[in-house]
A and B are shown apart, each in its own frame.
Chain A
């Protein structure tokens, strides 16, 4: 297939070719960035929780009278443990996919007056790690004597555990065991790391900056219960747990937004991201549709306009395939030109968005992805008009020349 005659013909339709090329370029820029945003959201939704989320039920209580909290906590834990199918029960200050409860600045250098780091301190009662299903990465779990009374925020305990990746970030290349973490009121020694535990409120900016300290259930550690069961029983366990709370502690409020199976909490937590991703997919679909319509419209026009020339070419011996390939090549050239400009625009748009929304830089592999999509779209759209062109009979050439 010769390209030069096609280019020569295109020069006669400079403006229309330019317009459709620009449309492709803009579509390419938007497509790449929208795809990138969708994949960001999808990555976020797939964040590793580090817990056995299909086996967990969370009961988040509020409005607990401080005077009776210790007693209530003991009765609730015993009650929850007695529910059929519950393997273990633990109390904490928060669990993944709820709300933050222990966000705090800390430092890792003893005499540094600046609190340079910020993480989420999970406070867990006995069996918290085992109930959640955390996996040990290094060191050891808490021993029973390390569980301290919770003053008002963090427990009086000598030890802390961290997310393994977070520990690596705090002390790059060093063994975190034995290192110290200082808060405004406590100092903790690192006794171990767990493979992973996500924050209660993961966001694009922070996901696994978590620490775990050991506290005794009581006045300030009585509200958040996590129950471990089997995946099939989570719904029933949740119902039984709610019924138990209503019976044992009728004045306490079950926070419905933060109570449920861990999978349901996770689903609800990412509802906004899911909606946004869906919306962007909708934009992408509409964009591709409009672009396709534009190509079809213009190609149909060109086919009609050139009926006579097509007839002449057919009469001079061109096959149907030749005509088909002519329009396909022409479309390929225009789309390629659009894509070339579109790649530059895609990066420009990404730069603008980065300035306003703290987005990461657009990875390069989105460009071939967007380009391939548009090439395919172009070829598919032009197929209909091109086939109609190929169907033009040679006899057209003899009419009213």
Chain B
């Protein structure tokens, strides 16, 4: 029976090509728009550390001493608090993270250039599953000695060494010679979750946080020694001396901890509160206690890191899909009721209402399938357009298998929903009335 209905549906669709084309175009355009934005949403709001993000936490406290008291703790820690918490070693893994720009002097007649740098501690790499192509991270012991070692990204390695194994070779950063100990494999976390400070205050303009990962990773003490004053994002509550960040009254460091069990996480929360209380007792901290420890996904949600424009586009795209659906319901209704005579005959010859309903739905489903095919092509076109946009995440916008399947699922589901009401109306056609007018 299904094959027969399929045949009937195809015949019916062929009979009025214009109306069929209108419906297919409507559903295809709606699907194309919503799948384009949905794919971008999916890519930008995914879990950057699958399987691990639940164990990664972001401790915070309020280190400020000025008259203005914040409602929520500042996005970063001051160096002293971060260093104290880090040094305590109470988490399974912990890393301090700062970022900025650094000058790379390739030598050999090439002109120097600026690139992005992270100053961090050795746990950063295993904690965030950072893949290495050559070598590996520096050791904790070397780090403490302020060793002149560096880990570089695959992109920088390509630029400086043509992609060769550069472990053991030296590069000049901001006038200081440092030795490469590790080269990262392709690493494109989205967003750059390890430094999200300030995202929530950027008015939704967060595409910056979806840029490439940093190029240079320095042990934090080394970074402070050779790149002082160039470590970026910080807020100061009193007049700072930027050259001496560790003692400056500024928030500049992100601290990440890995806590493998809920019990460990609870214990760390207790430790954070106790540390905060102790520091207030010592008089170093003066504001009311305001500690907090988000998990990675909570932190990303709090920072509102998915760009506002992307969310706005998604709203519009789905509103648009809704318009397309109303359009299709109207057209299907017209199409089915126009065949009232034919339906009357079928009913008179013994077809049940369910059979008519089924037949109409199959026709709607075929329109959905056709709409899905064209909608898929439009999605590919839409994603190509997104890639042409001047946004940092342009290069990661590609269609993947789940989204490919979802395109067709959405198209067929949408057309079945749109077809249900007209099909119901068609199945209610009174056979006697129709036969009389024939």
A-side interface size class:
35 or more
Query: A345 CB to closest chain B CB, in angstroms?
Result: 10
**Contact assessment for A19 and B333 in the assembled complex, using a CB-CB cutoff below 8 Å:** yes
Tell me if A276 counts as interface (CB < 8 A to partner B): yes
Distance A358 CA – B205 CA, assembled complex (angstroms): 12
Evaluate whether A63 and B326 lie within 8 angstroms (CB atoms) in the complex, with A271-B390, A290-B29, A297-B331 already known. Answer: no
Q: Judge if A233 is at the interface, Cβ distance under 8 Å.
A: no
A219 to chain B, nearest CB (A): 11
Binding site secondary structure of chain A: helix
Across the interface, A272 reaches (CB within 8 A) one of B112, B205, B326, namely: B205
B409 at the A interface (CB under 8 A) = no
Q: With an 8 A cutoff between CB atoms, is A171 at the interface? A: no
Contact present for A15 and B175 (CB under 8 Å): no
Asked, given contacts A275-B391, A301-B338, A358-B203, whether A23 binds B101 with beta carbons under 8 Å apart, the answer is no
Does A195 sit at the interface, judged by CB under 8 A?
A: no
**Given A65-B175, A115-B68, A272-B309: A185 in contact with B239 (beta carbons within 8 A):** yes
The 3 closest A-B pairs by CB, nearest first: A113-B67, A63-B103, A294-B327
A283's partner among B33, B67, B309 (CB-CB below 8 A) is B33
**Looking at A15, A184, A297, which has the most chain B CB atoms within 10 Å of its CB?**
A297
Q: Please indicate the chain A residues that have their CB under 8 angstroms from the CB of B19 in the complex.
A: 297, 300-301
Question: Interface 1/0s, chain A 225-256, versus B by CB < 8 A?
Answer: 00000000000000000000010001111010
| Whole-angstrom CA separation of A280 from B320 in the bound complex | 11
**Interface residues in A24-46 (C-beta closer than 8 Å to B):** 26-27, 29-30, 33-34, 37
Task: State how many angstroms separate the Cβ of B86 from the closest Cβ of chain A.
Answer: 27
Knowing A20-B330, A65-B175, the reply to whether A26 touches B323 (Cβ < 8 A) is yes
Please report the C-alpha to C-alpha distance between residue A261 and residue B211 in the assembled complex, in whole angstroms.
25
Q: Is A203 within 8 A of B205, CB to CB?
A: yes
**What separation, in Å, do the CA atoms of A298 and B328 have in the docked complex?**
10
Of A3-11, A138-146, A172-180, A349-357, the one touching chain B: A349-357
What chain B residues lie within 8 Å of A19 (beta carbons)?
Answer: 326, 329-330, 333
Interface residues of A in 130-152 (CB under 8 A from B): 152
**What separation, in Å, do the CA atoms of A276 and B207 have in the docked complex?**
13
Interface residue B319 (Cβ < 8 Å from any Cβ of A): yes
Residue in A29, A251, A276, A293 whose CB lies within 8 Å of B22: A293
Report if A70 contacts B (CB, 8 A).
no
- B25 CB-CB contact with A under 8 Å: yes
Report B89-126 CB contacts with A as 1/0, cut-off 8 Å. Answer: 00000000000010101000001111000000000000
> CB of A114 within 8 A of chain B?
yes
Q: Is B66 an interface residue (CB 8 A)?
A: yes
A276-B309, A286-B33, A294-B331 known; A152 vs B241 contact (CB < 8 Å): yes
